[in-house]
Amino acid sequence: MELLLAPRSSSLLEPLPENFRVTLDNERVRVSCVSLHPGQTTGVMALAGPRLWTALDTGKLDMTSVMDETHKTLDVSPGSLYAEESKTDTMIINIGQETVALVLTELK
């Protein structure tokens, strides 16, 4: 897969909150996982460019853009995808009743 092998740039991504576990980090992409229990938050994350969130569980999340205080409520199920393009400071809160695991794929 070209995405995982060929370098595109040397851009650095901001560090993720401590509750994230990085599973792959190379010149092109960083992939990380987080599990959020009911009521738990990711904390504020400074996210750069294009990224894709993939849900591994069923649940309900509140995704807040800290910059403009907009909220998006997401009803997710295994395999649900949510793409974002622009730089933003984001916080996700599990507002459901079940633990939700997410995979974050960030392009560099």
What are residue 33's DSSP bridge partners? 21, 103
Q: What is the DSSP annotation of 29-78?
A: EEEEEEEE-TT-B---EEE-S-EEEEE-S-EEEEEEETTTTEEEEEEE-T
Average pLDDT of the residues of the chain = 89
With a cut of 70, say whether residue 9 has pLDDT above it.
no
Does an H or E element contain 101, and which? strand 100-107
- How high is the pLDDT of residue 11? 58
Does an H or E element contain 19, and which? none
What are residue 62's DSSP bridge partners? 73, 93
Q: What is the mean pLDDT of residues 3-24?
A: 74
pLDDT in tens, 51-80: 999 999 999 999 998 888 889 999 999 999
With a cut of 70, say whether residue 91 has pLDDT above it.
yes
- How high is the pLDDT of residue 88? 87
